[in-house]
């Protein structure tokens, strides 16, 4: 993953509450087995006027001219502005992959569905929670200001508006650390590889039978108990 420290990006608004993961990436595209190739299907049912199947070429599809992803003013955006309970519905990491491939690095909303929020953090996207009244102000600013940018600073945990106003946000220390380092949970675990190896050696010395007994076999103590 790419490390996240500070970004300044164009903002794209999705002015709907309770946007679920099936809207972000419809279920038929979950049949794709790679972790890439989802960008073209992001917000598929809102973005296009026709239907498609996984692997179809979306460059020739009929697009909804009113949907924000299709408007020239929002091309190249890197911050998504959303409403309450963004990312609700079924758990699908594919939705986060689609957002990331389209170019989104941070999402700003009053609240996020918990599983969706966790999937964002595991894939290098920063979900920022700000008060609803402030979110209303930002939607109004984006609508009336073409090219509206925000700065999101994870190091010092704030969002800065073009007028210089700064708004703090909260994030737990572990999520902040892995984003700053560009790590997922496996990468964070591997930082402790020496400790893990030392533990494994210590346990093997105390219980040497672990090295020779097949995984499916019972340990000697249980085998003796069964025989008795």
DSSP 176: H
| CB of 32 closer than 8 Å to CB of 154 | no
Question: Given CA atoms 20, 23, 28, 29 in this order, what sign does their dihedral have?
Answer: negative
> Alpha-carbon distance 98 to 165, whole Å?
31
> Alpha-carbon distance 189 to 169, whole Å?
26
> Alpha-carbon distance 171 to 158, whole Å?
11
> Alpha-carbon distance 64 to 70, whole Å?
7
> Alpha-carbon distance 190 to 194, whole Å?
8
pTM for this prediction? 0.83
- Structural domains of the chain in order of their starting residue, each with its CATH number: 6-183 (3.20.19.10), 192-227 (no CATH)
- Per-residue model confidence as pLDDT tens for the chain (228 residues): 788 999 999 999 999 999 999 999 999 998 888 889 999 999 999 999 999 999 999 999 999 999 999 999 999 999 999 999 999 999 899 999 999 999 999 999 999 999 999 999 999 999 999 999 999 999 999 999 999 999 999 999 999 999 999 999 999 999 999 999 987 777 767 777 788 888 888 888 888 877 775 555 454 554 444 444
DSSP 8: E
| CB of 53 closer than 8 Å to CB of 30 | no
Return the C-alpha torsion angle 149, 154, 158, 162, nearest 10: -20
């Amino acid at each position: 993953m790419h490390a996240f420290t500070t970004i300044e990006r164009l903002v794209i608004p999705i002015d709907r509450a309770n946007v679920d993961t099936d809207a972000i990436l419809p279920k038929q595209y979950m049949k794709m087995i790679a972790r890439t190739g989802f960008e073209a299907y992001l917000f598929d049912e809102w973005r296009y006027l026709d239907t498609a199947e996984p692997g179809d070429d979306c460059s020739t599809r009929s697009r909804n001219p009113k949907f924000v992803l299709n408007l020239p003013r929002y091309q190249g955006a890197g911050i998504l502005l959303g409403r309450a309970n963004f990312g609700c519905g079924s758990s699908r990491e594919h939705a986060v992959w689609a957002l990331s491939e389209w170019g989104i690095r941070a999402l700003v909303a009053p609240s996020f569905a918990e599983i969706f929020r966790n999937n964002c953090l595991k894939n290098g996207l920063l979900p920022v929670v700000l008060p609803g009244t402030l979110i209303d102000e930002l939607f109004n600013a984006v609508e009336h200001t073409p090219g509206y940018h925000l700065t999101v600073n994870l190091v010092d945990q704030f969002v800065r508006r073009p007028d210089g106003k700064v708004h703090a946000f909260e994030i737990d220390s572990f999520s902040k650390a892995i984003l700053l380092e560009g790590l997922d949970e496996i990468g964070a675990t591997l930082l402790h590889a020496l400790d893990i190896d030392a533990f494994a050696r210590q346990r093997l010395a105390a219980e040497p039978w672990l090295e020779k007994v097949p995984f499916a076999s019972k340990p000697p103590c249980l085998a003796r108990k069964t025989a008795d």
